[in-house]
Each structure stands twice: as C-alpha cells, then as structure tokens.
Structure 1
Amino acid sequence: GLLKVVDTKMVMGIQSIDTGALGALICGVIVFFIHEKFQNVELPDAFSFFGGTRFVAIATVLIMSVVGLTVPMVWPFFAAGINKVGAAINGAGPFGPFLFGAGERLLLPFGLHHILVATIRFTEAGGTYVTAAGETIHGALNIFYNQFAQGAEFVSPEATKFLSQGKMPTFMFGLGGAALAIYKSAYLENRKKIKGLLISAVVASAVGGITEPIEFIFLFIAPVLYVFHAIMTGLGFMVMGLLKVAIGNTDGNIIDFLVFGVFQGFWTKWFYVIPVGIIWFLIYYFVFKWYIVKYDIPTPGRDNSAQAQEAVDSGDIAGYTAKVMLEALGGKENIVSLDNCITRLRLVVKDSSIIDVEAVKAAGAVNVVKLNDTNVQVIIGPKVQVLKKQLQKLM
C-alpha cells in the first residue's frame, strides 16, 4: 500500500522504485564509505587477489544488494518527505523561488546545495507536469526541457521560476557590483594590482555562471555580506518569477540569457533581466562599499600589513607564497598527490594532522578543510591554478 506514493519504472525487466537523483546521491555516499572501510583489507594468501580495492567492488555488490532490499521499506517515507519540501516551496507561491534561491546560496559553502538543487530540478518538489500523451514528468528542469522540445507555446513560467533566470540578476549584474565595490574600497596604490583578479572573477560569474571566485573573496571575512548576497539571490528568483520570465536551463549566465532567452524571442520576457540586473548591480555596489569601509573588511588591496603589501607588490594578490604554503602543508614529503578545481587545492597527503592550518591561512589560504586523515582541500580562490604550478615546481 505504501508503494502507491512512489513512482516505479522498469529497470532491466524488473519493476523498480524510481529513486531519481536522490537515490544516485545516496548510492554515491554509501559507496564512498564502503571504499574508505575496505580499501586496505588484507585477505588470506589463497584469496589475496581479491584484497584491497578489488574487495571494495565485492563489498559494494553485497552491501548494495541489502540496501536494495530495504529501499522499498524506507523509500516511501523519503518520497513523502520530498513531497512535503515540494509542497512547502510550491505552497509558498511567489515566495517559493525566494526560498529556493536563498537556500541554495546558504548551503553552497557546505557543499550541500546539490541536494536542494537536485530535489527541485528532478523530483516532485520542483513541480509535476502531465504531457498530452499522458506521461507524468517531475522536476522543474525535466518539465522545462520537455516543454521546450514541444515548442514555445508550451513553456510555462511555473517551470522556469526555479531555473537559471532567477540567478541572472545576481550572477550577471549583482556580483559585478560587489567586485566594483571591492575595487573602489581598495587603497589607491593597490587598485591597479587587484584589477585583473576582480575582472577574471566577474567574467567567471557572468559568462561561466561560476560564482565562487567572487564569493570566496568575502565569504569568510564578511559572512554578513554573504547572507545579504544569499537574500538578494533569492529575491532575484522571486522577482523573475513574479515578472513571468520564462528562461530555462541551469547556469544563470550570459550564455543562458542569449540561447534560452534572447534567441527564443520576446515570449521569454528576457528584456526584464536588464533593468532588474541594473538595480541589483547598484544595490550590491552601495551595500558592499558601505559595509567594507564601515567595518574595515580586509578585502584584496585593503590590508597594508608588511606581508600583504609584499604580496600585492609582487602581483601575488592573495598574499600566499608557494614556499611558505608547502612548508605549512608538511613539506613535499607529506604530499602524495596534488590537484585543483576552480577555487581549491585538492591534496592527498600522508598525514593531515601535521598540517599547520594557521600557517597555511597566513600564507594566503581562505580556509583548510580536512576531509579525513589523508584528504585535504585548501580554499584559495581564483588564482589557485598559478599556486598549484608553483607548488609543483618546488616539488
């Protein structure tokens, strides 16, 4: 009886519960823990071939089989919970997109935003749509793609209110205002030197839809500004929804604006993005400028300590030097592998306990995240690629 509240589909000829994106996330998390527990298992000589990482695959099959058997018992409660989240967001009317937009930004520093985003994009929480053929489609993004494929007259602002249009006032305009405020708040002699850093961060946000390079400049040193930014992002979603803008997709950048907005014609109401965006730019600029100056926030170019000044003078804006950073990380002997994403160094080390977190921060890192005994992430900002190359040269 409980199974009536969940969707099922045929998988390899077996009627299975359709757990969607959330099921995939849960599988990923479980397999991670299986790997952590069994990757170094040693078996008796006769079975030694199946030890170590090979045993992870065997354990995964056995454990996930048990998980598969328990899913029908627990999933209906999950589904009911997801439906409640969806009902709360959809039941909030015009306020729903605000809750989604602000919530996503607030969860981002913890890496938990993917759960909220996947829930809205791919489950009932983001809406349900029944096609002319009688097919039921769940999730804002799934609904948008289905409607978009059918033609312009099918695309509903109800589906797009949780999609990239809501990000556009902030991603394309607001964060540019924040960057200009950081530039204008810097001491005159430092402005020229931080210009490149800020321009590249604005381009990443507006063209790439990647906001972390700007956000990580102020996230840890001015959390109040980050909360303001989250609220403004939520308001951007809310305003675009109220104006019945119908631009879909996911990134909230200039590419989405052109491809899914301007190029589709006036029915998308893309023209509303520009005046709203200009207002967002001005609000961000004046709020950031006032707060940074009033509370003397040490954004790039405002810290005149000897170390920071030396870094600025050498063009090393974030104030780190690879040599100091390497020593603080325990030296090259401690580093097993080194990689980076857009804003972070991703390290596998022999022993994370010997890392001097404060010394790493003093060398210019924003923060150090120790995932476990051997996996460490160092949050740097948009110049992480340069730092990684300097570290590699030293190593």
Structure 2
Amino acid sequence: MSTADAAIPETPWWHTFYGGLQKMGRSLQLPVAVLPAAGILNRLGQPDVFGADGLGWDNLAKVFAAAGGALLDSSLGLPLLFCIGVAIGMAKKADGSTALAAVVGFLVYYAVLHAFPQKCTPPTVLLGNQCVDVKSLKAAAASYQNPGVLGGILMGLLTAWLWVRFHRTRLVDWLGFFNGRRLVPMITALTGLILACLGLWVWPPVGHGLTSFSQWLSDLGAIGSGIFGVANRALLLVGMHQLLNTFVWFQFGDYTKPGTGEVVHGDIPRFLAGDPTAGQFTSGFFPIMMFALPAAAMAIAHSAKPHRRKEIYGLMTSVALTSFVTGITEPIEYSFAYIAPALFALHALLTGASMAVTWGLGVHDGFSFSAGLIDYGLNWGLATKPWLIIPIGLAFAVVYYALFRFVIVHFNLKTPGREDDDQVEDVTKA
C-alpha cells in the first residue's frame, strides 16, 4: 500500500474542542490589551488627579473620565471591544471586513435589546427610557436585559463563523455588488437581530445563574477569592483563564458612581470607578506577580548548572523584571509549567493563598491590565491598604524561593539550566 493510500487518522473531537478553546483564550487577549489605555484615561479623570481634589482642572478631568468610561462601559464599550476582538481572533485569515461585520451585528443586537426596557419598580412608571416617580418628580434610567461582555463574545463568535462561511460566496449576477465580503455584514445584521431576540428570552435565567455563582464566591470572602485564584492559574495551563475571568472581572456586581448616577459592572470597572468594595478577585495577584514569581525565577537561575548559570541569570532576570513591572507572568510560568507540573501546582495553590490573605487583611486593589508595578502605582489612590501588598509580597517571595529551590534540587527537575547537555540547544530555541 502506498503512502497516499494510507488512511489519514481522524482528529479526535476533544482535540478539536480543546484547540478551539485555546484559540478562544488567545482571542480574548486582544480586547484585554486595550484596558491599560482605558485604565489610564479613567484614572486621570478621577477627582484626586485632575479633578476637584487634585489639580482642580474639572473640565479636563471630565474629558479623561468620559474617554476612559467609554471603553469601560459594561453595556456598550467593553462588549463591543470583545465582540470585535473575538471575531478577528477566531476567523481564519480575518481582515477589516471581519471587524466591520462584527460592529454591524453588535449594533443591531444592542439596539434591539434596548428597545425593550425592563419594568420599573413601583411607584415609578416607565416613560420613554426613564423610570419616573410622578409624585416626587424624580427619574432614573430604565434597565435592560444586559448579557454584557458575554453577549459581545457570542456575537463575535457568530461573526467569525459567518465570515469564514460566506466571505467568498458569489450571488447571481444582478446581485453581484453584494458578493463575498460585502455580503457578510448584511448577514450579521440579521444574526444580531435574532441573537437579541433570543437574549431577551434566554438571558434572564442564565444571567441569574452566573450571578448566583459569582455571588456565592463573593460571599465566601477570603476563601472565595482563594478559590478564584487557584482556578485562574490552573486554567492558564490550557490557555482558558480568560474565560473564567470574563464574567467576574467585567460583569459581576454593580456600583453607582456618585454624582453621575452611572452604573458600572464587573470587579475591574467597579474598582476603577471608585467602588471601595471592589478588588476581591484582583488584589491577591499583586504579591504574586510583583514579588513571588520574580523570586521563583531567581530560584530557577540559582539552581542551574554552574556552567549555564550566567546564561540563565540573564534570561530569568529579564522575565522577572517583566513580571514585576508589567504583571506579564507567562514567560516565567511557562518556563516550568510543563517541565515541572508539581511546581505549577504549588504556584496555583500559593496564588489562591495570596488572594485569600490579601482579601482577609482588607486589601482592596485592582488593575486595568495586570498586577504589576505600573498598575500598582497608578491606582494607589483608589486602593485600600495598598501598602500591605509590599510586606505580603516579600513574604510570598521568601516562600516561593525556598520551595522552588528545594523542589528543583531535591527532585532534580529539569528546569532551565538543568537540562541534559544534548537537550540544551533545543530548549534554548524553544
């Protein structure tokens, strides 16, 4: 039998499913990358920076607050960003027409949802898009079914599928103008309409279930924060931690901004808006990303073979500084995650411990991008007890260094710098 005649083994469905989830996780990183800009703009618009309690430039503060708020808006800005990011990330060979189709579909979806405001709580009555108390002449904005970021992600997935399926479609000659890429936005507009109608019906029980689960975690206090931390790091191994983060970080909970009456949702937007109760699912990452993981990197470098120690010092110092300053930890974590899974299990458990300890001690801190020095300094004025992060982080740094050094040496783990000589070249290229 020739090679050409040999049957090509079919890819198991779970491999395809797992690969799709990994691709989804990578796609979510694109809109997340916008958040530093949103966080900086929002921070500059706070009263203690350019506002009345800071430099007193109220109008300039309003400009920055409005700019950052547009990106962090949990009903329009964030869902639209995630919709576009997922559509581009999930569609094979996506281009500008993919993003255009995503915007068209999302705007239709958003408008249909907002055509059906929810019933007002008595004694207020619905007048237009306001809940009005006729006796007191007070009014508040009506509420709507709001799948938020999850709705944006779903619209992005549908757009990606529709684009792949129809961007090369050819119609009859007299409709030739709408061939291919020009056809996709028309289809996504109809899809957005259908998705919104389904959302009006399906979202209430689904949203209630997700909110109840998140509320259960929140009510557990420090323990709930710790559970989230362990799950977050565990899912990083398969690239799906952003799926866990999405609802908790960008949709769960609500906070009404004083003065404006604007309601924001999600642990991160609420923190950036000044909610003193936010940060339960973000605070504990600061000690790990700024102190503990850099200490782990040094333990790996110190454990390297003598003739390779200088090389590994250079590598680990670089990734340690990256983690400390920016909060980007993947270069460190992936340096040992698959080589020494036991170390990564310890890391996940200790991350959960950091989350529990910080929240238990009353530390409320948050970030726009990640828990590095940049966000730590930028958001110091919004945080509660941010100074405690330093001693907590130093304590975890000692624990990480001691545990990593002991486990690596005692069990002779092949971390960077300890590989067999015939594997050094391949590991270096990786």
Distance 2:180 2:338 in 1: 39
**Pair 1:282 & 2:282 matched:** no
Contact 2:222–2:359 (8 Å) recurs in 1:
yes
**Residue 130 (structure 1) shift:** 4.7
Partner of residue 207 from structure 2, selected from 76, 79, 84: 79
Change (3 A) 1:45 1:295: farther
Task: Choose 229-238 or 14-23, whichever is displaced more.
Answer: 14-23
Distance 2:411 2:157 in 1: 41
Question: What does residue 71 of structure 2 align with?
Answer: none
Distance 1:37 1:97 in 2: 42
**Map of 1:183-202 to 2, 5 A cutoff?**
183-202=301-320
Distance 1:132 1:257 in 2: 24
- Secondary structure of 1:268's counterpart equals coil
Contact 1:42–1:52 (8 Å) recurs in 2:
yes
**Residue 275 (structure 1) shift:** 1.6
Contact 2:226–2:352 (8 Å) recurs in 1:
yes
Distance 1:82 1:296 in 2: 43
Distance 1:114 1:122 in 2: 11
Q: TM-score, normalised by structure 2?
A: 0.62
Contact 1:123–1:139 (8 Å) recurs in 2:
yes
C-alpha deviations, 1:224-244, integer Å up to 9, x for none?
221221121121111111111
Change (3 A) 1:307 1:142: closer
Contact 2:147–2:199 (8 Å) recurs in 1:
no
Distance 2:237 2:385 in 1: 32
Partner of residue 56 from structure 1, selected from 153, 175, 184: 184
Structure 2 counterpart of 1:224, one-letter code: A
**Pair 1:207 & 2:325 matched:** yes
**Map of 1:243-258 to 2, 5 A cutoff?**
243-250=361-368, 251-258=370-377
Question: What does residue 37 of structure 2 align with?
Answer: none
- Secondary structure of 2:273's counterpart equals helix
- Secondary structure of 2:379's counterpart equals helix
Question: What does residue 268 of structure 2 align with?
Answer: 141
Structure 2 counterpart of 1:144, one-letter code: F
Distance 1:82 1:120 in 2: 9
Q: CA RMSD in A?
A: 2.6
Distance 2:197 2:111 in 1: 15
Distance 2:166 2:412 in 1: 50
Runs (5+) with no aligned partner, structure 2: 1-73, 77-109, 117-143
Structure 2 counterpart of 1:294, one-letter code: H
**Map of 1:142-161 to 2, 5 A cutoff?**
142-147=269-274, 155-156=275-276, 158-161=277-280
Distance 1:213 1:247 in 2: 24
Contact 2:75–2:148 (8 Å) recurs in 1:
no
Equivalenced residues, count? 294
Distance 1:224 1:55 in 2: 51
Distance 1:182 1:301 in 2: 8
Distance 1:166 1:128 in 2: 21
Identity %: 32
Question: What does residue 37 of structure 1 align with?
Answer: 165
Contact 1:8–1:17 (8 Å) recurs in 2:
no
**Map of 1:1-395 to 2, 5 A cutoff?**
11=111, 14-15=115-116, 17-124=145-252, 127-130=253-256, 136-147=263-274, 155-156=275-276, 158-163=277-282, 165-250=283-368, 251-261=370-380, 264=381, 268-308=384-424, 311=425, 318-320=427-429, 364=430
Distance 1:86 1:207 in 2: 30
Change (3 A) 1:109 1:36: farther
Q: TM-score, normalised by structure 1?
A: 0.68
**Residue 280 (structure 1) shift:** 0.7
Distance 1:132 1:255 in 2: 27
C-alpha deviations, 1:89-113, integer Å up to 9, x for none?
1121221111222222122233322
C-alpha deviations, 1:20-75, integer Å up to 9, x for none?
11111111122122222223334344444433333332322222222222111111
Distance 1:301 1:120 in 2: 38
Change (3 A) 1:43 1:220: farther
Change (3 A) 1:225 1:67: same
**Residue 143 (structure 1) shift:** 2.2
Distance 1:296 1:47 in 2: 68
Contact 2:218–2:280 (8 Å) recurs in 1:
no
Distance 1:307 1:229 in 2: 26
Structure 2 counterpart of 1:32, one-letter code: A
**Residue 283 (structure 1) shift:** 1.2
Contact 2:168–2:180 (8 Å) recurs in 1:
yes
Change (3 A) 1:95 1:288: same
Structure 1 counterpart of 2:115, one-letter code: I
Distance 2:154 2:213 in 1: 18
C-alpha deviations, 1:332-354, integer Å up to 9, x for none?
xxxxxxxxxxxxxxxxxxxxxxx
Distance 1:285 1:303 in 2: 20
**Residue 141 (structure 1) shift:** 2.1
**Residue 172 (structure 1) shift:** 0.7
- Secondary structure of 2:326's counterpart equals coil
**Residue 247 (structure 1) shift:** 2.5
C-alpha deviations, 1:164-198, integer Å up to 9, x for none?
x3111110111011111111111000011122211
Contact 1:22–1:115 (8 Å) recurs in 2:
no
